[in-house]
Amino acid sequence: MNGEPSKMIVPVVDEGLGNSSYLVDLGDGRALAVDPCLDLRALRTHAERRGLTVAFAADTHLHADFLSGAVQLAAVDGSRLLASAAGGREFTHDRLSDGDEVDLGGLTLRALATPGHTGEHLSFELLDGTERLGVFTGGSLIVGGAARTDLAGADQTEQLSRLQYRSLRRLFALPEATTVWPTHGTGSFCSAPGSGERVTTIGREMQTNLLLQAPDEDAFVEQLLAGLGSFPPYFLRLPEANRRGPALLEPPLSVPALSADRFTAAVDAGAVVVDVRPIHDFATGHVPGAISIALRAQFTSWLGWLLEPDAEYVVVRNPDQDLDDLAWQAAKIGFNLPQGELAGGMAGWNRQTETTPLLAPEQAAGERVLDVRQASEYHSGHVPGAQHLELGALRDRAEAIDTGPMVVMCGHGERAMTGASLLQRAGHRAVRVLDGGPDQLAAATGRALV
């Protein structure tokens, strides 16, 4: 076939989940999709622009951070599904084991067993005759690191970490010029710390990947596990959902508009109010008890972290915010769609409202501070004396926080507003939010970060 990989392969990046799926142009009007997400809108757009039909869909592993779109592609596009024989998937697919090859019609996909991130993990070499174009490494080798190994339970973590070490050594046996296309990257809670870049080579990782320069297997395991932070609870249930096969969805996804009366009735019946407006809008007035989760790339992760998967919820948005995008962000992690949205947004709300003051950095000087960033962010530099509690843990511990006046902060303000809304929902009243991050507060106070 002799195509250039840079022209044949289109990365489809999900900035919120920190992942890349890949669309491979097979040169005959057909395509291969690698690790497609259930939200297939971007992948389909790229395929349509190139006049491609997705003939093959390959999953490197049972994903924990999103529902696979492979079953959807098989049902709607007639795609042939490729996945590990060891995964025990309950739907029709080609069951691949180490060394198995699939003829893509000119190109070949070769399976390499690379367990570690999951026990059934495969990497896929893409071959053009005898020429190796590159390797899709999924959650094994990533740019600047390796994906986490603690998602199958504490009793399996060390064994999977040792398998990860051996799998990476196997990948390092490939030629140094081999292009590496990982699935997980910066922003993915599946990843141990890594680089901001999303594509690399074997040779570059051999030279620059500090994790992989550990002197032996024991040191690698210790270093890998030391770099793992917390992760959303839905990670523990999605692998099984992907093993069974996600339910098919028929777009467009529907979220009805509710009058203020119907909206209130839903809340009285137990629905959680999720306010997706920008934080400055939430600050000036919102439905009492609402949780602020601004609709941005990271909306999916925080919705999944802070609500139960079967939670009933209703949403408030601004008219210029994309309701379809909101629905897909919920669907791709297996969450219920909202029961409805407040018709007209806050302009349609004629009842009591609540505010959450935003403070400029100079206004927050000398205030008691609650920092809700991830532990790695906090330890990399925080305001002297700041109390720390990760946002993901705040939902269950909000009532234990001292009710005195406090300023909640994060890196920019979005997570801090979410944290403040959780505190207000738990009964805290003297809560304000820093409009900015630690660097801005340090500059305003003249105190260096710890």
User: pLDDT class for 300, splitting at 50, 70, 90?
Assistant: very high
The mean per-residue pLDDT over the stretch 172-198 comes to: 83
Which amino acid type is present at position 344?
G
The mean per-residue pLDDT over the stretch 385-406 comes to: 92
Query: Which helix (DSSP H) or strand (DSSP E) does residue 126 occupy?
Result: strand 122-128
User: pLDDT class for 3, splitting at 50, 70, 90?
Assistant: low
Q: Which of 283, 266, 291 is nearest to 418 (CA)?
A: 291
CA distance 63 to 331: 15
Per cent of the chain over pLDDT 70 is 98
The mean per-residue pLDDT over the stretch 103-130 comes to: 97
Q: Which residue has the tokens 């959680």?
A: 272
CA distance 28 to 53: 10
Helix axes 217-226, 154-171, angle to 10 degrees: 120
What pLDDT, on the 0 to 100 scale, is given for residue 252?
Answer: 87
What pLDDT, on the 0 to 100 scale, is given for residue 190?
Answer: 76
CA distance 59 to 34: 6
The mean per-residue pLDDT over the stretch 233-258 comes to: 95
The mean per-residue pLDDT over the stretch 97-101 comes to: 98
CA distance 161 to 402: 39
What pLDDT, on the 0 to 100 scale, is given for residue 197?
Answer: 83
The mean per-residue pLDDT over the stretch 394-412 comes to: 92
- Work out the mean pLDDT of the chain and round it to a whole number: 94
Which amino acid type is present at position 105?
G
The mean per-residue pLDDT over the stretch 329-336 comes to: 95
CA distance 83 to 217: 28
What pLDDT, on the 0 to 100 scale, is given for residue 6?
Answer: 64
